[in-house]
Structure 1
Amino acid sequence: MAVPYDPGLVDAFLALHFAYRPVDATFMGDRRHDHRLPPAKAETEAEELAELAALKARLEETEEPEDLGQRLDRRLMLSEIVIRERAADTWSRFDNPAWFSGEAAFSIVSLLLPQSAPVREDALLARLGKIQGFLSDSAERLKDKSVPSAWSARALRECRAMAGFLREDITLHEAFAKSWSEPAARAADAFDAFAQTLGRHADRPARCGEAYMAELMQTLHGLDLSPRQAVALAEDAFLRLGRELEEMAAAIDPSKTAEQLIGELLQNRPASAEDAFESYRAWDIKAREMGRTLVTPAEDYGLDYRLQAPCFRRLAGSLYFLFYRSPPGLNPGTGSVYWVTPPGDDAEAYLAANAKAVVKTVHSVHHGSIGHHTQNARARMAASRLARIAGTDCALGLAFLGSGTLIEGWACYCVDLLAEADGFYTPQELLLLKQSERRNAASVMVDIKLHLGDWTIDEAAAFYRDRAGFAPARVQNEVVRNSMLPGSRLMYWLGVEGIKALRARWPGETKDFHDTLLSYGHLPLAWIGEEMQRAGLLRT
């Protein structure tokens, strides 16, 4: 017989999550775990699985709650537990050297970011002191494993970068103290020692298989699609969007291709590095002003554009170091920081990287203003406790992957949404948006076909480069992330398509739809649609 749902099960779930993923706790704002690293002993996975099974049994014997937030919390916990159990057999994090290097690196970096200020020296020293033991356990776990060579290469790059950071650039941190030097040097030695163990493993394909991908799509993302069906949709869209690109280009200038017109657009660059920096905030303000008839922008939670701190400038290129990170939902403070990359030795390359259209669409809209920034601010007020933090950016990606169809779906969708604000985009900028949409459809194909075994990493990279038009410098990082995180790249395009479908069923004002959508927080978009339907908010 079912028993009433206990809201305290969320606390039990988070306690279990943080016990095995303390770096996530730091990113989410629970500082009680700042001194810890993840356990990585031989028995760790079995212990975690036993605790997950016990918690799942408690959840399954409860009634589905009538309360919206509690209902969603229960569903999210069950879906996460199911996938974690399945991953232990199919896609264990303990089989990936880049998981170990990333957790070790961000155990330190997370404590030095503005969201963790002031730096807790006791926690920092504790983690520095534990790096050697953690990476030693990691090497032992991996000793007899076969590992995709691309994963080992990524872990090697991260280890070398962190060793250099700990020996040199950490001294540039504004809170640096001499007491950090010796522990940081020992931790650097540990990264070097772990790096020496990499590359010795037998290579293997980087694919999770169709059954696991199907479970990710259905259980985590709530998608009523098989992997093959999703690929077919993306392939059709990729071809259609290619035709639309050329039709749009012909309407602008029949003598030029879409690629040529976009190339010309990207020549519109700031006059100086100072102008580039100022453009981030200027376009953020403009997007809020022109977008407020379409969605209520976050005005009560700040976004501070800053030049990236000197201590992180060399490190950022080698780690999952984001321009903008979701704020720590359990301790959000009054705002977030957006890192603007400072100029380097090549002034021309810097200005090219900060072309007007790139800053406008990628930085100030997708990540800032009405994009991730507004979406994260609204999530902090969601009815579901877990939906306030599920989309936290952690060492390797989102804390709970299922939240991504809303999170990345919204950020891509809202860039296109501003086309409805008359005059925000030029015709050539709309062409750039169409190109981005096509690339997101291409990423669905790579995400799935890579993990079904249809494509190798090299074949996926060739598709990105030769057919999807990704910048060559971006391709390798993109395809390696695809290989490590199945189901993480399909959520962009499928998320946008899902939002469009829900909007078509909304009977009221556009702004009300977007505000309502974001009010649910970090959740699978399909679940939000079901809750909207349950509340009578959508046409059938």
Structure 2
Amino acid sequence: MEQYLALHAQFRPVDASFMGLPGHDYQLPPVDEEALEHERHDLANLLQKVEAWTGEAETAGERLDLWLLRSQLRVTLREARERPRQHNPAFYTGEAAFAVISLLLPNERPTNAAAVLARLKAMPEFLSTGTRTLEPLNLPADWVERARKEAEALEALLLRGLSKHSDYQADWQEPAAQAAAAVQTFASALKAGDADPACGRDYLEFLMREAHALPYSAAEAERRAQAAFEALGAELVKMAHQLDPAKSWQQQLAALEQHHPALDDVQQTYQDWNARALDAAEGLMTPAREYGLAFELLPEWAREAAGALYFLFYRSPPAGHPGDGSIYWIFPPGTDMAAYLRGQNVPFIKAVHAVHHGSIGHHTQNTRARQAASKLAQLGGTDCASGIAFLSAGTLVEGWACYAEDLLLEAPGFYTPEEELLLKQFEFRNAACCLADIRLHTGQWTLEQMRAFYRDDVGFAPGRVWAETTRNSIYPATRLMYWLGTQVIRELRAELDLAPQVFHDRLLSYGCAPVTLIADELRRRHSRGTP
């Protein structure tokens, strides 16, 4: 396991910064062909050693570590052979941006100014190598467009954002300008092709099996998601009719956008509902009150760049050195104040910001993961430059956060009846996204058909559709993990019939691993009557 983490940090040093693995903050990923061959060779050798091991894992932590180790090696090796990240233009822009951002985010350690300088100086060669790698490839047009959007954001960070950071150093200025010029050159050299971004049924089912440990095929998952999509759509219509027969569920949800705080009260509204969610969850689970969460406006240095990048509201500090709390960014208003306030409506703040990402959602889940017996399950859910560190963490990470939204339906009075309609829409959308993930990557739908489905049948905001679908095309088996993970948790709770607090605390204690494996450990524990 330690050998694997060393390999992971060597080839993905930006991940290492986010995870808190020491010794790599001065580096950018090696991306030439020799490095890719080296990575494949080392992964294959280590996988051979692991699969030849004949010992037994005796504890839950050991069993999870062994499974996760095999999973990571198999998934990463196949990715390197068939869908190498170095063949995606957005890999270069994302890694370059977050190589710097990862060192600027607040945590218990002071900003490593020398590491920032080193990564700025390394950026031109990193991007130049990327250009040479990508030049002969037929690239999906939308991947190129995403990379160009990220390049603009990165250029803004380098030329205008860095100097606004409280730890800005004068010797960053010239390397940042040279890096910005390299970003422009990289983006202008990109050529949009017509390659199909789908990974294919075999690869998708490989990820479902080897990363998510799901015990069924893509066809079975599609059947389940289709049935849920139809049933949830009918439930939305029924619930809306009961609330107001004269208005559709779409109209009723649109009306919720008018229930927003005044501009000066937005930050306090986040904080208040986070605290209320912690209180409401008492008796249902043990919220992470010992690890603080402060709600602050997104700092000025990040504002111009954040929109086009994977810049999250909530990002847990590195597991290796988490300190005693983290910050939750509130994005400031743009030029359209009315639209901003509609987006800051109280029902959305409650369900998405206070519950899903904050309080008992990702915040508590991340806090508990740092105490897990499995070392890899401590690290797997770390948000890195483009997504979580290990895909295998996804069904627990996102399954739990979506489940947590509905969990507070069991706290009397936390949600209004209209907000319950909003939660039902969230579930409806997650089932739809699971369906779309499968149909895109098994070749049943093109990207345009997926987008039409999101616009016409699911009701996503037009501005969200392109980004959502492009991201899903790059990262197969990521959107299906939300709804499928939630379903496993619900089914397991019904099966074990434990007291709510016991069930939820035990579930989160195993860290970030496939929820089906955690379910096996909970069944094992339950059958033995272990306290």
Same fold (TM over 0.5): yes
- Offset from partner CA, 1:21-49 (integer Å, 9 cap, x none): 00000001124110000000112221111
Paired position in structure 2 for 1:370: 360
Query: How do 1:43-54 residues align onto structure 2 when only pairs under 5 Å count?
Result: 43-54=34-45
Is the 1:70–1:384 contact (alpha carbons within 8 Å) kept by the matching residues of 2? Answer: yes
1:291 and 2:292 correspond: no
Paired position in structure 2 for 1:264: 255
Distance 1:35 1:132 in 2: 15
Cα offset, 1:59, TM superposition? 1.4
Query: How do 1:65-104 residues align onto structure 2 when only pairs under 5 Å count?
Result: 65-104=57-96
Query: How do 1:110-149 residues align onto structure 2 when only pairs under 5 Å count?
Result: 110-115=102-107, 117-149=109-141
Amino acid at match of 1:182: E
Distance 1:181 1:30 in 2: 28
Cα offset, 1:160, TM superposition? 1.5
SS at match of 2:496: coil
Aligned residues: 528
Q: CA RMSD in A?
A: 1.3
- Which 10-residue stretch deviates more, 449-458 or 108-117? 108-117
Cα offset, 1:83, TM superposition? 1.2
Cα offset, 1:346, TM superposition? 2.3
SS at match of 1:51: helix
Is the 1:410–1:495 contact (alpha carbons within 8 Å) kept by the matching residues of 2? Answer: yes
1:29 and 2:13 correspond: no
1:415 and 2:408 correspond: no
Distance 1:204 1:41 in 2: 22
The correspondence for 1:276, drawn from 258, 266, 272, is 266
1:332 and 2:333 correspond: no
1:439 and 2:423 correspond: no
Distance 1:157 1:253 in 2: 42
Unaligned runs of 5+ in 1: 1-9
Query: How do 1:349-388 residues align onto structure 2 when only pairs under 5 Å count?
Result: 349-388=339-378
Distance 1:444 1:395 in 2: 23
Distance 2:156 2:240 in 1: 47
- Offset from partner CA, 1:108-148 (integer Å, 9 cap, x none): 11111113752111101100000011111111111111111
- Which 10-residue stretch deviates more, 255-264 or 369-378? 255-264
- Offset from partner CA, 1:267-295 (integer Å, 9 cap, x none): 1111x212111110100000010111111
- Which 10-residue stretch deviates more, 489-498 or 42-51? 42-51
Distance 1:12 1:42 in 2: 22
Distance 1:517 1:222 in 2: 16
Distance 2:182 2:12 in 1: 20
The correspondence for 1:172, drawn from 151, 164, 169, is 164
Paired position in structure 1 for 2:146: 154
Is the 1:412–1:496 contact (alpha carbons within 8 Å) kept by the matching residues of 2? Answer: yes
The correspondence for 2:49, drawn from 52, 58, 61, is 58
Unaligned runs of 5+ in 2: none
1:187 and 2:187 correspond: no
The correspondence for 2:465, drawn from 475, 482, 494, is 475
Is the 1:506–1:538 contact (alpha carbons within 8 Å) kept by the matching residues of 2? Answer: no
- Which 10-residue stretch deviates more, 311-320 or 112-121? 112-121
SS at match of 1:535: helix
Paired position in structure 1 for 2:227: 236
Paired position in structure 1 for 2:4: 13
Paired position in structure 2 for 1:213: 204
- Offset from partner CA, 1:335-388 (integer Å, 9 cap, x none): 111000122332212211100101111101000000000000000000101111
Cα offset, 1:157, TM superposition? 0.9
Distance 1:296 1:79 in 2: 30
- Alpha carbons of 1:497 and 1:538: their partners in 2 closer, same or farther (altered >3 Å)? farther
- Alpha carbons of 1:201 and 1:356: their partners in 2 closer, same or farther (altered >3 Å)? closer
Amino acid at match of 1:345: T
Paired position in structure 1 for 2:194: 203
Distance 1:410 1:346 in 2: 34
How many percent identity over aligned positions?
47
Distance 2:218 2:396 in 1: 19
- Which 10-residue stretch deviates more, 327-336 or 340-349? 340-349
- Offset from partner CA, 1:295-328 (integer Å, 9 cap, x none): 1000111111111000111111010100001221
Distance 1:131 1:538 in 2: 54
Is the 1:450–1:483 contact (alpha carbons within 8 Å) kept by the matching residues of 2? Answer: yes
Amino acid at match of 1:241: L
Amino acid at match of 2:29: P
The correspondence for 1:306, drawn from 293, 296, 302, is 296
1:249 and 2:244 correspond: no
Distance 1:94 1:343 in 2: 35
Is the 2:496–2:526 contact (alpha carbons within 8 Å) kept by the matching residues of 1? Answer: no
Cα offset, 1:164, TM superposition? 2.0
Is the 2:108–2:322 contact (alpha carbons within 8 Å) kept by the matching residues of 1? Answer: no
- Offset from partner CA, 1:184-242 (integer Å, 9 cap, x none): 101101111101111x2432111000000001001110101111111111111111101
Distance 1:139 1:364 in 2: 42
Distance 1:359 1:288 in 2: 14
Paired position in structure 2 for 1:4: none
1:493 and 2:490 correspond: no
- Which 10-residue stretch deviates more, 51-60 or 219-228? 51-60
Distance 2:115 2:33 in 1: 25
Amino acid at match of 1:304: A
Paired position in structure 1 for 2:217: 226
